[in-house]
Structure 1
Amino acid sequence: MKNFIKKIICLSLISFYFFKVEQVKSLVPYYYFPTIKNLDKESLSIGRNAYQLLYFGQYEQSLNLAKLAVKINKKNEKLWLILSEAQVANKLYKEALYSLENAEKINSNLSEIYFAKSNIYFKISKLQSAKTALETGLSIAPNSYKAIFQLGNIFLMKKNYSEAIKLFDKSLKIKPDFWQAINNQGLAYFEKNNINLSIKLFEKAISIEENAEPLLGLASCLRMKDITLALELAKKALIKDPNYVNYNYRQEQLWGEKLQKSTEILLQNEKLQTDVILAKSKIN
């Protein structure tokens, strides 16, 4: 009987010990330490979300997420690229260039870095820097029709119309339906006083994409030849994009002085005044 009681006591003590241990373990917090691989994966997921927000126009939220992604993973050049895009959207051009410098340090053979740089330099009117960045990017990706087109735009801004036209041609050989290049050829030829060729080019651009820019460009070309059609095209253009009523906006789209003058005369036509006033009210 005495031995039996001793066994019972021993078993009770052992049970009590294990029970107390479980109690203690249940009170100790459990920490998860993610691996570097998991952190990298999470940063890329955050980066994708930042890019999606950028696409939907939520620029400030996109910037915050992009900053977080880079903070988690500073060694991924694509995250720096996303951050730079978010910074550009928020007009933080100096910061965007810094982000691209970091991306370049990680991978100097990525053409997108130089094309993004050129876009920023273009926005802040540093044309020579934009040209250099484009040429560097094109040395890596020579068939980028958009980059070739942008290089053409730099020559268009410098009023070197012949070189601009050559580059637009080169862009179109890669992508024949790139209506923006066709349109900008129309802009260049107008400044070279080849109105008939401008008409054909604007018509061709419209056949691919009925955009406000070639519509108004064509209207300005036809002002002296067919005022009825010119007015019809101008009205359609202002409905599609009221911003084209504004001289400064057209200048941002690289319209030359001669085309601007022709367009201003057209927009002063009394039959367009209702449309002009409406367009101005929309952009205001």
Structure 2
Amino acid sequence: MPKRISFLSALTILSVWTAAHPAFGQALVPHMLQLDTKKLEQQGIGLVQEATQLAQFQQFDLALSRARLATQLAPKIPEAWAVLGGLYLQANQIDPGINALKRAQTIDPRNAAILFALGTAHFQKASYQQSIDYIQSGLKLKPNVPGALFDLGNAYLMLKQNREAIASYEKAYAQDKEYWPAINNVALVKYEQGDVDDAIRLWRTSVAIDPKAAEPKLAAAVALYNKGDREQGLTLGEAAIRLDSRYGDLKFLKDNLWGEKLLAATQKFLSVPRIQATIAQAQSAPPVQPQRPE
């Protein structure tokens, strides 16, 4: 049963409404709450930091929700949009990621990191020329960044511009002698070009830099096995797969830009019973952290 308003209560409400209600010729100016924009921005920055920390612990859903809220509280802070864009890319939501990164670029057009991130996003979208354009724009602002030079080489590689790819990889390695993925990828190109001995040499250099790097160890193993040095190849291949069982998956290798010749040789190598047994054993072990640097 609905409540009834008493006569006294009705008079009170009416008197308050009448006093507050303007005459017909009077403009109504509602009272607006004044927001403290600086305080909101600080809260937004705090959320960006939280989102970054959550992403490090692989809690992407929580990170995304905080990053979205950060862009609402601090829409003029480019870092908020950049972090949101990066999280979308990690969630494989490429178009929303690009849109967020472009918002960041609009606010801060001379931020090389944002341009590099846009290059990564377009690489994920298989828009390789656009990826090159963004990365080159970033390198004009901040040259000699190993990771950006490496990404540039990957985009060139996908367009089969091998000379440019090798040049970019070598520039990345020149900036950081510990950056083994650059040398590893030069070897990938060399192998496809038929220069097997040089490819093996470069893969061995990569392994010398980081003995726990599974990729160059497996690539060298396949090349050695295919060349006739079967025992050394099998031993090295077993060690690589024990380090990271993902490298026993051809799709994963293709995603890491292994070429057709190397993939064909690897398919035969992975079918060897001794390697099959190692893969089965490695896959039953606890998962490991990725060995390849981002």
Q: State the partner residue of 2:4.
A: none
Q: How does 1:92-241 map to 2 (within 5 A)?
A: 92-210=93-211, 211-223=213-225, 224-241=227-244
CA distance in 1, matches of 2:76, 2:87: 18
CA deviations 1:60-112 (Å, max 9, x no partner) are 00000001111101000011111111211222211111111111111100011
Question: Among 255, 259, 280, which residue is 1:256 paired with?
Answer: 259
CA distance in 2, matches of 1:229, 1:134: 40
Classify the secondary structure of the residue corresponding to 1:64: helix
User: Contact 1:50 / 1:63 at 8 angstroms: preserved in 2?
Assistant: yes
Which runs of 5 or more residues in structure 2 are unaligned? 1-32, 288-294
User: Contact 1:243 / 1:279 at 8 angstroms: preserved in 2?
Assistant: no
Q: State the partner residue of 2:76.
A: 75
User: Contact 1:245 / 1:280 at 8 angstroms: preserved in 2?
Assistant: no
Report the structure, 1 or 2, having the larger helix content.
Answer: 1
CA deviations 1:143-168 (Å, max 9, x no partner) are 21211111111122222322211111
Opposite residue 178 of structure 2, the aligned amino acid is D
What is the Cα deviation at residue 128 of structure 1? 1.4
Classify the secondary structure of the residue corresponding to 1:91: coil
Aligned CA RMSD, in angstroms, stands at 1.8
CA deviations 1:239-284 (Å, max 9, x no partner) are 111111111110100001111111112112232221234456679x
Which runs of 5 or more residues in structure 1 are unaligned? 1-31
Opposite residue 252 of structure 2, the aligned amino acid is Y
User: Contact 1:187 / 1:256 at 8 angstroms: preserved in 2?
Assistant: yes
Classify the secondary structure of the residue corresponding to 1:108: coil
CA distance in 2, matches of 1:207, 1:280: 26
Q: State the partner residue of 2:272.
A: 269
User: Contact 1:75 / 1:106 at 8 angstroms: preserved in 2?
Assistant: yes
CA distance in 2, matches of 1:273, 1:94: 39
* Aligned residue pair count: 252
Opposite residue 40 of structure 2, the aligned amino acid is L
Change in CA separation of 1:187 and 1:105 when aligned onto 2, cut-off 3 Å: same
Q: How does 1:18-37 map to 2 (within 5 A)?
A: 35-37=36-38
TM-score normalized with structure 2 length: 0.81
Q: State the partner residue of 2:85.
A: 84
Opposite residue 270 of structure 1, the aligned amino acid is P
Opposite residue 220 of structure 1, the aligned amino acid is V
CA distance in 2, matches of 1:280, 1:126: 34
User: Contact 1:247 / 1:260 at 8 angstroms: preserved in 2?
Assistant: yes
Opposite residue 214 of structure 1, the aligned amino acid is P
User: Contact 2:67 / 2:83 at 8 angstroms: preserved in 1?
Assistant: yes
TM-score normalized with structure 1 length: 0.84
